[in-house]
Amino acid sequence: MNFRIPLGKWVSDGLDWFNDTFDWLLQIVTTVIKFLVEGLSDVLIATPYPVLILILALVGWLLRSWQLAIGTVVTLLLIVAMNQWEDAMLTLSLTLIAALVAVVIAVPVGILAARNDTFSSAIRPVLDFMQTMPAMVYLIPAVVFFGIGFVPGVFATVLFALPPGVRFTELGIRGVDSEVVEAGHAFGSTPGKILRGIQLPLAMPTILAGINQVIMLALSMAVVAGMAGADGLGKQVVSAISTMNIGQGVEAGLSVVFLAVFLDRVTAALGEPKAFKHSALSALRKRRTRRQHAAAATASA
């Protein structure tokens, strides 16, 4: 039986058509992403490494603990000692920009999915498809659209890291206690005010957990993006594999692990739920108090 569905050719033709038709849009995306990544990497590399290490350690101390601050200093100095500092900063720049783009897209999509069951049902199989697709496959359209370098790495990383941000945002908003939301409606709050004043603050720990996953996936994909020519630790790993240089691979891999541990601990610390619950409930209590005072003033008049 010689019958065959040429699905691959259809997809290839579709990508070529998109590339030719929207070349202007791809050029804009290329310019913006290149400006962001190269600008951030230039700042990180130009900053003396003792100063940057001190800043990152201070961030870890303020958000987590002094133990994380000490661990940050030790691990980042190890990266410097292994002569991987510049590549680590390039990888960190790519990861942060890709994670930022993914979060900017994921959070609004997750909010819409939480507020619209039809959209949630429609987007769920798309997210399943994106999560189960092998990571390296994303490099194919990325290279077709943007060539080689930072830009295809960011594009592929955003696609790979996007689904957890959408899912966690939807989960967090849907998980807000319905009685709290009903209390907001009872005091005359609009849906927009309820979203901003009640649902988002109470869902913030879950949303930040999703952002944590986005950053972790972005960092793992940033290494794979080295195959698309993105400079950084990923390129070092690819080079080590092609030349069977075990030492280079170990040093680059350890540098990735050190960055991942720091980013994971910092973003996890941001997701502590107590402060968010307190702020949301305090806002609701203040709104209720103002309503009660207004009602009392009206009754006395």
Tell whether the model's pLDDT for residue 51 goes beyond 90: yes
pTM attached to this predicted model: 0.80
Q: Which two tokens stand for residue 36?
A: 């962001």
Segment 117-166, tens digit of pLDDT: 899 899 999 988 888 888 778 888 888 888 777 788 888 888 888 999 99
Contact 116, 123 (CB under 8 A): no
- What's the chain's average pLDDT? 82
Phi, psi of 229 (to 5 degrees): 90, 10
DSSP single-letter state for residue 1: -
Q: Which fold has domain 7-46+82-300?
A: MetI-like fold (1.10.3720)
Predicted pLDDT of residue 25 = 86
Neighbours of 159 (CB within 10 A): 20
> Inter-axis angle of helices 233-243 and 85-115, to 10 degrees?
120
Which element (helix H / strand E) includes 140? helix 139-146
Predicted pLDDT of residue 54 = 93
Tell whether the model's pLDDT for residue 300 goes beyond 70: no
Q: Which two tokens stand for residue 242?
A: 């092609």
Give residue limits of the domains in the chain: 7-46+82-300
Neighbours of 153 (CB within 10 A): 36
Contact 78, 254 (CB under 8 A): yes
Q: Which two tokens stand for residue 264?
A: 């994971």
Give CA angle at 79 (46, 259), nearest 5°.
Answer: 90
174 closest CA partner among 226, 128, 105, 119: 119
